[in-house]
């Protein structure tokens, strides 16, 4: 999808700098969509991390994940949500972190994310309406437009926010997945607090 230059006004060009708004949903529809979620699929850079790639002389040496997302992923797994990471890049750092957290579906180096996720949902026998997707950039827009619950982290780019139902309170790398797992499990009446 490319803009038609002949029909692009200055206002169109500068729209992202006027601020983006997610598709507004009334509370009851937001909760209903969260209640229906069976698969939580997510982009990695800019969602599980703040997007920073720490480079040494031999390439990308480190990614910074967040401890709270780890706890969120454990709670999601315990509640039976299916987790799937869909990343445009490919990184051993990401494989190390997500493997440690036992994320069952890790797809890296994906050029066409909506095609990839559509295939995975087909394998799982789950409809897009039961899929929550979180992404922060233009290569996530296809998934965001199809997902039953479409989420962008605070600070995501204009096009991702415009395609989302919900913008999280936290920025990427600060516990976006954990915030979302809490929303989904609260909506499903399955959120628990560790009291011991």
Token digits of residue 61: 């040496």
Q: Which residue from 83, 107, 175, 180 is in contact with its own copies, where contact means CB under 8 A?
A: 175
In the bound complex, what is the minimum distance in angstroms from residue 190's beta carbon to its own copies? 7
CB 99 within 8 Å of CB 75:
no
Residue with tokens 């797992």: 181
Binding positions for its own copies, 97-136, rule CB under 8 A: 97, 100, 112-115, 136
In the bound complex, what is the minimum distance in angstroms from residue 123's beta carbon to its own copies? 18
Q: Which residue from 61, 90, 119, 127 is in contact with its own copies, where contact means CB under 8 A?
A: 61
In which region does residue 147 sit, left (phi positive, over 0), alpha (psi from -120 to 50) or beta (all else)? beta
Helix axes of 67-78 and 176-187: crossing angle, nearest 10 degrees: 30
In the bound complex, what is the minimum distance in angstroms from residue 165's beta carbon to its own copies? 14
Angle at 130 between CA 159 and CA 21, to 5 degrees: 25
- Does 148 participate in binding its own copies (rule CB under 8 A)? no
- Does 54 participate in binding its own copies (rule CB under 8 A)? yes
CA distances from 132 to 76, 129, 137, 161 (A): 13, 8, 16, 15
Binding positions for its own copies, 23-52, rule CB under 8 A: 27-28, 30-31, 34, 45-46, 49, 51-52
- Does 169 participate in binding its own copies (rule CB under 8 A)? yes
Q: Which residue from 81, 141, 164, 176 is in contact with its own copies, where contact means CB under 8 A?
A: 141
Backbone torsions φ then ψ of 152, nearest 5 degrees: -120, 140
Token digits of residue 82: 């299916």
Query: Between residues 46 and 148, which has the closer beta carbon with respect to its own copies?
Result: 46
Q: Which residue from 24, 56, 80, 125 is in contact with its own copies, where contact means CB under 8 A?
A: 56
In the bound complex, what is the minimum distance in angstroms from residue 164's beta carbon to its own copies? 13
């Amino acid at each position: 999808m490319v803009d038609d230059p002949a029909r692009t006004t200055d206002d169109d060009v500068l729209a992202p700098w006027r601020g983006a708004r997610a598709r507004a949903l009334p509370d009851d529809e937001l909760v209903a969509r969260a209640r229906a979620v069976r698969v939580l699929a997510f982009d990695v850079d800019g969602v599980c991390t703040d997007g920073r790639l720490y480079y040494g002389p031999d390439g990308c040496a480190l990614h910074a994940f967040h401890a709270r997302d780890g706890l969120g992923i454990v709670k999601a797994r315990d509640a039976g949500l299916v987790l799937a990471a869909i990343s445009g890049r490919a990184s051993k750092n990401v494989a190390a972190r997500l493997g440690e957290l036992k994320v069952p579906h890790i797809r890296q180096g994906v050029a066409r994310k909506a095609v990839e996720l559509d295939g995975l949902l087909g394998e799982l026998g789950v409809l897009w309406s039961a899929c929550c997707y979180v992404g922060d950039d233009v290569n996530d827009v296809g998934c965001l437009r199809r997902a039953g619950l479409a989420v962008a982290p605070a600070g995501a780019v204009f096009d991702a926010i415009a395609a989302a139902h919900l913008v999280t309170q936290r920025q990427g790398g600060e516990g976006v997945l954990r915030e979302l797992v809490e929303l989904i499990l609260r909506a499903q009446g399955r959120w628990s607090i560790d009291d011991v």
